[in-house]
A and B are shown apart, each in its own frame.
Chain A
Amino acid sequence: MPKIMKKKYIINIIAVAMVFLLLCLLFDTGLLGRKAAYFNGLVTIGMFYTIIVCSLNLLTGYMGEFSLGHAGFMSIGAYTSAIATTLISDHAELPNIVLYLLAIVIGGLAAAIVGVLVGIPALRLSGDYLCIVTVAVAEIVRVILSNFGIPAITGSATFGKSFAGIAKVSDYHYVFITMVICITVMYCYIRSRYGRALISIREDRIAAAASGINVTKTKVMTFTISAAFAGVAGAIYAHYITTLVPTYFNFSKSSEFLAIVILGGSGSMTGSIVAAPILSALPQLISYVFPEFASYRMLIYAIVLVVVMIFKPSGLFGGKEFSLPNLLLDRNYRKKKVSLDENKA
């Protein structure tokens, strides 16, 4: 490995560790006092939003296809993992970390399986048609969950159309590490040869196929990965909130995720990482400071979206990535960025 790469890795690891320590300092030392639990919740929710928004960005930004059904994949991950952990913890006492790991793995796998099953037929379509299929899938999942309910399989949790009594194992320490791993995996995927193939398909499907790229395989693979991470986010959500209601995973949730991707900048992981926690927390914070505004939070979303679309249609980061190591190590980084912009114009 070249020395400069090693340096960059070290800087990134230090940066991530510092953020982690900052969170620990805020929540574990009682610095925030009574409010710690509230902010802890905001941060945890922000983190699972980040995972799901990044996973959606994989489709929107890099594959160039819209999915309005990510809440569906999320609900699959949430329900499957919740049923699994409830069943398991009825039979055996497991430490939280094991239960948490089981939850995210099962949630991710379940969503990935559905992703493959949906992806193989659906990815023959593209654009609006694919988008409609994803909406349909999410709605089918939601309607099944809200009408059939889950048969009572255990005693300890109440089953029915909603699902309560899920073990609360999504501790923010675990969630933070999960988030970092998820983002790293997705980022590496984009930078790999498969990611490059994916981007070339977005740019020009025919030229990509003519270059020997298996278009269908690459698309299905990406769709599956995206669904899997949505499932992981769902599992985290389920084991944090502890109560699942099918109506939470409705169409407006899916469109909220998509709105965050667009706001952050589709095709920019940095954009999603910045936009997701802020936009998931913003409505909460506003209703916290001004309780009378609580019912207007959707309005604020709309206004922010309109303003961004007017002044920066490509989103806040507009397909660019921020790199801390490059900023620190490469003096030409800023200069280079400018000259690249000039090239584009």
Chain B
Amino acid sequence: MLKVSNLNVHYGVIHAIEDVSVEVNDGEIVTLIGANGAGKTTILHTITGLKKATSGNVVFDNVDLLKEEPSKIVTHGVAHVPEGRHVFVDMTVRENIEMGAYMYKKKDKDKMIAKMDEVFIKFPRLKERQNQLAGTLSGGEQQMLAVGRALMSDPQIILMDEPSMGLSPLLVQEIFSIIKEVNQQGITVLLVEQNAKMALKVANRAYVLETGKIKLSGDADELLNNDEVRKAYLGA
């Protein structure tokens, strides 16, 4: 479904991503784990067009995403939940969710309302607080809002960038159960995480990224028991 092959990305002279190939199949949860600065976020940004690649291919459903504008990529069914809970703090919760439907045309208004109901059913907390400013939400609620906003565009695949960042262990559990739930509805998930343990538990397959290169890849369960991974990322 999503195929990243031989991707190279530079920041100036720094070679941030070196020959990375990642494949995500329909219906899977695939996770990219790695330390700070390994290039996980860069890969997501390249997929959604926020960062230009030097060479390589990103193909999603036979569409070459590297040639598309970021605003067009969303319309192909790729949603991106950026790192660090990027919500619009001075807008209300409802307005934030509406922004996720920005690509809809005026005639799709019914569809938008239906989608919004869906999101509110999934996140009742957001419905309660729909007229509150997003900046006043707690960290976990903001993360839910960011996920809810991404779901508004009716994506086939959702790219999540460190959804557990800065959240309490309890909320991390909740976010991961949301990820599973989203996946069960048939949305493919590409998850970038530093919390390797949690990520490997929910994922089907995983890639371990180290300073811009894929070090290991395979079934999530296998990696969870891999000695190297355990030592480097699981602290055991």
Please list the residues of chain A having a beta carbon within 8 angstroms of any beta carbon in chain B. 193, 196-197, 199-200, 203-204, 206-215, 217, 343-344
Contact = CB atoms under 8 A, between A and B. Distances in A.
Given A214-B71, A344-B136, A209 B50 contact: yes
10 contacts: A199-B90, A204-B88, A204-B89, A206-B86, A209-B50, A210-B70, A210-B81, A212-B153, A213-B99, A214-B69
B88 A200 contact: yes
A88 B91 CA distance: 49
B86 A199 contact: no
Nearest to B85: A207
A210 B86 contact: yes
A207 B87 contact: yes
Contacts of A344: 133, 135-136
Nearest to A217: B71
Interface in B33-50: 48-50
A211 B132 contact: no
Contact of A196 (B71, B95, B133): B95
A207 B82 contact: yes
Interface of B: 48-50, 69-71, 73-75, 79-82, 86-91, 95, 98-100, 102-103, 132-133, 135-136, 146, 149-150, 153
Contacts, number: 77
A210 B159 CA distance: 10
Contacts of B102: 193, 197, 211-213
A214 B103 CA distance: 10
Most A-side CB within 10 Å, residue of B71, B75, B103, B136: B71
A207 B88 contact: yes
Contact of B71 (A193, A200, A207, A213): A213
B90 A203 contact: yes
A211 B99 contact: yes
Contacts of A204: 86-89
Contacts of B91: 199-200, 203
Nearest to A319: B90
Contacts of B70: 209-210, 212, 214-215
Nearest to B88: A203
Contacts of B135: 344
B50 A211 contact: no
Given A196-B99, A197-B102, A212 B88 contact: no
A317 B69 CA distance: 38
A207 B79 CA distance: 11
A81 to B, nearest CB: 36
Nearest to B135: A344
A212 B90 contact: no
B75 A343 contact: no
